Chains A and B, each alone.
Chain A
Amino acid sequence: ETGVTQTPRHLVMGMTNKKSLKCEQHLGHNAMYWYKQSAKKPLELMFVYNFKEQTENNSVPSRFSPECPNSSHLFLHLHTLQPEDSALYLCASSQEAYNEQFFGPGTRLTVL
């Protein structure tokens, strides 16, 4: 595997479900990010991790819970989501925090 990978690529869940998104980067980077991409809106930064430590939480509701066990892996745990949370969730990584970011293919999330 090369670059940034994300699984699953598509996810449909009910409002009461609990699910997790996974991201893995194979670039040797130290920083990882979660973004939300909704139609007709700019990418919204959600979380930033630098050397496994969270350095930014952009006022994200607590129903989104990130986890970064090491510099190569990033998770986004989801629970009791709302239909308006349906979007493309993109993971990215960079060599150092806030440098140029390289994105994964995203997880298309639909909340019913």
Chain B
Amino acid sequence: GQQLNQSPQSMFIQEGEDVSMNCTSSSIFNTWLWYKQEPGEGPVLLIALYKAGELTSNGRLTAQFGITRKDSFLNISASIPSDVGIYFCAGRRRTGNQFYFGTGTSLTVIP
């Protein structure tokens, strides 16, 4: 099946630092989603992207739909302890309906 590669797999950062992570695929996607999952909970939708080059923000989070249509990026500015969790990307190809998920980036914020 379709594989999405997320990097980095894990990050340990100081509170206040900015965070960048990305997701790449071998196929062209027409939709990218970013989710956050905290321990013991299901993924929560953060940002949805629908057009190549699109840049969308949700508070301190900003995500971009890569112009190649094969990647997406998520940035978190001025991280705080409650940003801790696993961040997943999900993408949907132009052909087909299913969303494919990445393996996640685990974020730890050190106060």
Which residues of A are in contact with B by a Cβ distance under 8 Å? 4, 6, 40-43, 45, 56, 90, 92, 97-98, 100-106
Q: Which of B13-21, B60-68, B72-80, B97-105 contacts A (4 or more CB under 8 A)?
A: B97-105
Q: Is B92 touching A98 in the complex (CB atoms < 8 A)?
A: yes
Q: Is B103 touching A41 in the complex (CB atoms < 8 A)?
A: yes
In the complex, whether B45 has a CB less than 8 A from a CB of chain A is: yes
> Among A42, A45, A100, which residue has its beta carbon within 8 angstroms of that of B33?
A100
List B contacts of A105 (CB < 8 A). Answer: 40-42
Q: Is A104 touching B103 in the complex (CB atoms < 8 A)?
A: no
> Among B40, B48, B88, B100, which residue has its beta carbon within 8 angstroms of that of A100?
B48
> Among B31, B33, B41, B92, which residue has its beta carbon within 8 angstroms of that of A106?
B41
Compute how far the CA of A92 lies from the CA of B92 in the bound complex, rounded to whole angstroms: 16
Measured between C-beta atoms, what is the minimum distance from B105 to chain A in Å? 13
Residues 79-111 of B, flagged 1 when their CB comes within 8 A of A and 0 if not, give: 000000000101010000111111100000000
List B contacts of A45 (CB < 8 A). Answer: 98-99
Q: A42-B103, A43-B88, A103-B43 are in contact. List 6 more A-B contacts (CB 8 A).
A: A42-B4, A42-B102, A45-B99, A102-B45, A103-B42, A106-B41
Compute how far the CA of A8 lies from the CA of B77 in the bound complex, rounded to whole angstroms: 36
Q: A41-B103, A42-B102 are in contact. Are A97 and B41 (CB under 8 A)?
A: no
In the complex, whether B44 has a CB less than 8 A from a CB of chain A is: yes
Compute how far the CA of A104 lies from the CA of B41 in the bound complex, rounded to whole angstroms: 8
Measured between C-beta atoms, what is the minimum distance from A97 to chain B in Å? 7
Compute how far the CA of A105 lies from the CA of B92 in the bound complex, rounded to whole angstroms: 23
Compute how far the CA of A42 lies from the CA of B41 in the bound complex, rounded to whole angstroms: 16
List A contacts of B102 (CB < 8 A). Answer: 42
9 closest A-B pairs (Cβ-Cβ)? A103-B42, A98-B97, A43-B101, A42-B101, A103-B43, A105-B42, A106-B42, A105-B41, A104-B42
